[in-house]
Structure 1
Amino acid sequence: MATLNAVILRHQMKKDGTFNVKIRLTHKRQTRYLDTKQFVVRKQLDRDFNIKDIFVMKPIYDSIFKYRESIAALGDRVDYYNCENLLKYIQSEGKKVEIISFGRERVEALKSHGRDGTANNFRSAINHLIDYFGKEEIFIDEITSQMLRSYEAFLRKPRTLHRIHRNGTKFQIESKGLTDAGIACAMRDLRGLFNVARDTFNDEDLGLIRIKHYPFKKYKIKPAPETRKRNIDIDTIKKIRDFKPRIPDGIEAITRDLFMLSFYACGTNAIDIFHLKNQNLYNGRMEYNRMKTKDKRRDRAFISIKIIDEMKPILDKYVGTLHERFSTATGMNTALSQGFDKICTTLEIPRISFYWARHSFATIARNKCRKSKDDVALALNHVDEARKTTDIYIEKDWSILDEVQNAVVSLLRHDRRTDSRRQINLLSDITLSVCR
């Protein structure tokens, strides 16, 4: 049975001669200590270092009584706890979860693991919550289904957003309010943060439930409306490939090169290109674990892509150097966005983004090259949820991906060969004219 007692650790005397009163928890022959806010001096202790001042002991006894009640509420389940888990239980019992500070800690943890995308989603959810409540201390039990309906209406309205830049300076953004697609994203971000908090603070096996409610059971997130397809045709991709930047190593050149690398490499995401290292290039193939889903899949989202001739000079130029140019993948994405502004304006084509390379590769592979959706999914490193069991039995054949890649890239090669033949024919015509 767990026991709780007030004790003084004589070897932990402070420099000012005081001792902090500890509460000792003993359970299953293990011991843990809880700090209290009470301090005593030597004259308040007897010669065996027991506290003899009853005024000091009154709040300590109150805490011990509260902890004993919490343990008693567990009943026989207390046997499933070790001392460390029991300590966490009694400390957390009745303590509210503050979502903003928790969210910020989670954002930093995600960034340290290179998961900038999820970190940015959670940061956005945190900012929206602060905007709505008008304060920076928000307890998770304030997020209810009724609050979510009011929150949605708030996010749809035009408003001024107050933000802090990475360098610490404050700035303002005028927001027109979120669209249906924006609302769907914002609510998914908040739900994701809420779910992580539940997974962190709740332990159903031990009966440790600090977050008892789930507002997203009543409040249903409406699916985002289908957006227009983000793909461009071969002619437009050819224009980007052949684009001549004003500065050879400027952002326009980087944008063109990385966009084409993504297209050649079956729509590889920008964040995965950013994290590529020389060890990812092996035996004529580019192999990596997709950042977005590697922590969610049994195969760690591994993919192996053939390094075709068009990829080699781009990989030689940028692998291992992107971290020198950009501090984070998010910073690189921002720079690429500026690069596309310049390229699209110069080429007089509709505004696109880096992600269009992935959409375009998939669309061309399916619609122009007539590849099956399963083969396209393999090239995109997607998993069919309905066939996950079947996938366990089938070893991946990367040559299928190579065939999809070759079929798509051959369309660009065909255009280039056609241009070469046209130039040869034109020269022949000129030569014949001169001879005549």
Structure 2
Amino acid sequence: MKLNRDRILNCGKYPLVFQIIHRRQRRLIYTDIHLFDDSFDDEKQQIISSERQHFKRTELSKMNESLRQIRREIESMIEYIAAKTTSFTVDNITSLYNRRKGYIYFFTFLECVIEQNRTLEKFGTANNYQSTLRVFEKYLKSDKLKFTDVDQKLIKEFDIFLQKRKLKQNSIAFYINNLRTIYNKAAEDGIFDLPQGGSPFDKICVKRVKTIKRALPVEVVRRIMELDMSDSREMELSRDLFMFSFYSRGMPLVDVLNLRKKDIDNNSFHYFRRKTKTLIKVGITPQIQQIIDKYSGLREYIFPILSSEKSAQENYKKYRNILVWQNNTLKKIAEMVGVSQNLTTYVARHSWATVAKEKGISVAVISEGLGHSTESVTNVYLKSFEQGVLDEANSQVSLL
């Protein structure tokens, strides 16, 4: 039992958790108790009074007895599982506990989902839920919300709260849709029964606003490609990352940075797109090969940014930092080629699609080239194209 000091709340408190380690795998079981750093005795494994958090003696006794009871329940479940099989995992323990105990509190369950996503190395999803938790907690000013207390009135008031903070429509939709996902997941997991009238989110419609297409004309992409960056290695790396993304059919930056030498097979490379888990295979054009050769070295990754010696979470933090750096550097590159529009990493993706369309390549081929084969908008008419068709399309675009 310990305070999870990696998850500090806005009020300065930490969640109190039970840590289970089995076969080198670690999982956390969250309680609904949050304490200041000096309100928990790690050695004695009990809650204590402190200057910032004073408890009455009866209250302390009740909370510590409750924690001892949880410990006994977890130990009992471990014995139960071990008696049935010797090949159980730590996830078997936490799953059984969750089913038996149930997370009736919204924030307790959300913290558990965040931890699960981090364990699965879905750091982007975990961060999205973490930011949603912080904003929702600011609105409620409490962490004791039960799922059964979530209703349409609460969601609408949260919507108004976000509007008053002058958030854009897409940001509001982001937070409310995340809450909807967590609410539905808890219901699916049997944490609570949906109200008789159905989910309160069913009658809440917060739509995203379509953003303006951010594609560059082919002549601007060509100017970026031809820029002389020999006096600045950082600017040259930024340009090359952008052009590699463009040449690789709008490959997202996170996938570009995670590309490894082992992903190259003869005249192509493959990767699983982080966002959709779609397998994408890209033929290596002369333009792609030139960039690969420029950055070839003894390391495992194509580009000298991530490290195989770092953990997945450390590499994800590095990617987030590089994303900020790349977008800032691309603004300077935009000025160099006389472009006033906001140049970001995602512009390469839109630009590839636009240039491909201008060159007469069919929308269906473009959709598959971008890895959109699972999207309902394109699924109606998409077919599985031969790799050569996609490679030929990419070769035409790369010629600019």
CA distance in 2 between partners of 1:103 and 1:87 (Å): 18
Task: Give the equivalent residue in structure 2 for 1:128.
Answer: 135
Alignment of 1:94-173 (within 5 A): 96-158=103-165
Aligned to 2:202: 217
Q: Distance in 1 between matches of 2:356 and 2:143?
A: 48
Report the Cα offset of residue 337 of structure 1: 1.6
Of 298, 315, 318, the residue aligned with 1:327 is 315
**Partner residue of 1:231 out of 215, 228, 231:** 215
| One of 264, 288, 297 as aligned partner of 1:311 | 288
> Which has the greater radius of gyration?
1
Partners of 1:312 and 1:185 in 2: how far apart?
38
- Quote the sequence identity (%): 23
The higher-RCO structure (CA 8 Å, 6+ apart) is 2
Cα offset, 1:380, TM superposition: 0.4
Gaps of 5+ in 1: 1-58, 64-83, 159-176, 203-208, 295-300, 413-436
Closer/same/farther in 2, CA of residues 256 and 145 from structure 1, 3 Å limit: same
Whether the 8 Å contact between 1:289 and 1:302 is mirrored in structure 2 is yes
Q: What is the aligned partner in structure 1 of residue 171 from structure 2? A: 182
Say whether the 8 Å CA contact 2:253–2:345 is kept in structure 1.
Answer: yes
Q: 2:260 aligns with which of 273, 277, 283?
A: 277
Q: Which residue of 2 aligns with 1:35?
A: none
- Which string of whole-angstrom CA distances, capped at 9 and with x for unpartnered residues, describes residues 197-249 of structure 1? 334x32xxxxxx5253422112122x222211111111211222223347533
C-alpha displacement at 1:104, in angstroms? 3.3
* Per-residue deviation, 1:320: 5.6
**Equivalent residue number for residue 196 of structure 1:** 185
Q: Which residue of 1 aligns with 2:279?
A: 302
Aligned partner of 1:352 among 316, 330, 343: 343
The residue that corresponds to 2:19 in the other structure is none
Residue 320 of structure 2 aligns with an amino acid whose one-letter code is T
Contact 2:215/2:348, CA 8 A, preserved across alignment: yes
Conserved? CA contact 2:107–2:143, under 8 Å: yes
Report the CA distance between 1:279 and its aligned residue. 1.4
1:110–1:119: 8 Å Cα contact kept in structure 2?
Answer: yes
Structure 1 CA distance for aligned equivalents of residues 143 and 336 of structure 2: 45
Do the aligned residues in 1 keep the contact of 2:365 with 2:385 (CA within 8 Å)? no
Equivalent residues of 1:305, 1:402 under 8 A apart:
yes
Question: Contact 1:278–1:320 (CA<8 Å) still a contact in 2?
Answer: no
User: 1:334 and 1:86 mapped to 2: Cα distance?
Assistant: 37
Inter-partner Cα distance in structure 1 for 2:98 and 2:119 = 28
Give RMSD over aligned pairs: 3.3
Distance apart, 1:103 and its partner CA: 2.6
Aligned-partner Cα distance in 2 for 1:86–1:273:
35
- 8 Å CA contact 1:344–1:352 kept in 2: the answer is yes
Cα distance change on mapping 1:405 and 1:89 into 2, 3 Å: closer
Q: Give how far 1:102 is off.
A: 3.1
The farther-off stretch of 281-290 and 380-389 is 380-389
- Alpha-carbon distance in structure 2 between the residues aligned to 1:106 and 1:365: 40
- Tell me, what secondary structure is at the counterpart of 2:270? strand
Q: Could you tell me whether the CA contact under 8 Å between 1:116 and 1:330 is conserved in 2? A: no
Structure 2 counterpart of 1:248:
232
Relative distance call for 1:345 and 1:142 in structure 2 (3 A) is farther
| Corresponding letter in the other structure for 2:315 | S
Selected match of 1:336 from 326, 329, 332: 326
Q: Show the counterpart of 2:398.
A: 409
For normalisation by structure 1, the TM-score amounts to 0.60
- Alpha-carbon shift at residue 396 of structure 1 (Å): 4.1
